[in-house]
Amino acid sequence: MSTKLIPLGGGGSSVINNYYEEVVDSTGFVDPTDSQISFDDGTRTFTIEPTEDSFVFYAFGNRYEKTSAETEQIDDVDGLWYIYYDIDGVLGSSQDLWDLSTQVPVATILWSSGTGTVDNNQDKTKPSKFVNIYVIGVSVPSVLTDEQVALLHVVAGSETVELNKRLPYSIAKCGTAPTGSIAFDILINGVSKGSINFAASETTATFTWNNKVTLNPGDLVKIVGPSTADVTLADVAITLEGIRI
């Protein structure tokens, strides 16, 4: 699905907002690095927990987001144990090989003589088409003016969007580098949430977020240039990428 919007201010080019829905049978971890695993030999307890706020996986089209640690205790029986999430998002274990029609692989534990060796297997399945991405893009040709509005964008759809989780994929560049360091303010409903920062003589910017940034349908995203425009900065292009949750 694609919608085309014209920015209200800033004189930039059109904004393209592309987003796609995941297929109904999506299965697997969206980003395995969002979680970490461990195993306690003394209690034979496996633990999976978020590395930051949460981790997300799909089980045959069902979306599950875990915000705290979850555990599974294996029996004191030597051999290879298979840790998995079932179709209801419940953590489980078995010495039978995963049934990939009903289970999402998480890890294996080789239990022998009171010691367990754990291996991460979250990449055994992946969402078959997890491209549930929200993209906001804008370009501002020529030299900017003081406090120029580079973007006004109303969030579309029916789901919330997290910008932080796709931060490595957001990008801002310029055709002509600024003479000094400058920053564009990113505001959500009039509240500053972060900035786009161009260092002097650099054509690629960095992003700074003040905190976790979540967009809701109908929210107004605004990007504003510095109060005093840089005399050389020109032809700015900005793309923000978020993930629908």
Rg (Cα) of the chain, in Å, rounded?
23
Check whether 229 has a pLDDT greater than 90: yes
Q: Which of 5-19, 97-111, 115-129, 185-199 has the highest mean pLDDT?
A: 185-199
43, 101, 49: which is closest to 73 by C-alpha?
A: 43
Q: Which residues contact 63 (CB under 8 A, 6 or more apart)?
A: 56
* Exposure of 22 in the CB half-sphere (CA atoms within 13 A): 25
Between 106 and 14, name the one with better pLDDT.
Answer: 106
CB atoms within 10 A of CB 154: 12
The residue count of the chain comes to: 245
191, 180, 196, 193: which is closest to 148 by C-alpha?
A: 196
pLDDT-based confidence at 113, cuts 50/70/90? Answer: confident
Q: Could you give the strand order of the β-sheet that contains 55-59, starting from the edge strand earlier in sequence?
A: 28-29, 55-59, 62-66
CATH number of 2-21+132-244: 2.60.120
Between 26 and 176, name the one with better pLDDT.
Answer: 176
User: So what's the pLDDT on residue 20?
Assistant: 36
218, 213, 221, 156: which is closest to 185 by C-alpha?
A: 221
Please state the rounded mean pLDDT for residues 91-119. 87
Angle value at C-alpha 173, between 210 and 169, nearest 5 degrees: 60
Q: What is the mean pLDDT of the chain?
A: 83
User: So what's the pLDDT on residue 175?
Assistant: 94
pLDDT-based confidence at 64, cuts 50/70/90? Answer: very high
Weakest-pLDDT range from 24-33, 40-49, 125-134, 225-234: 125-134
Domain locations in the chain as residue ranges: 2-21+132-244, 28-120
- Cβ proximity of 212 and 164 under 8 Å: yes
User: So what's the pLDDT on residue 126?
Assistant: 60
pLDDT-based confidence at 25, cuts 50/70/90? Answer: low
CATH fold group of domain 28-120: Tail fiber receptor-binding protein (2.80.20)
CA 188 to chain centre: 18
* Exposure of 187 in the CB half-sphere (CA atoms within 13 A): 14
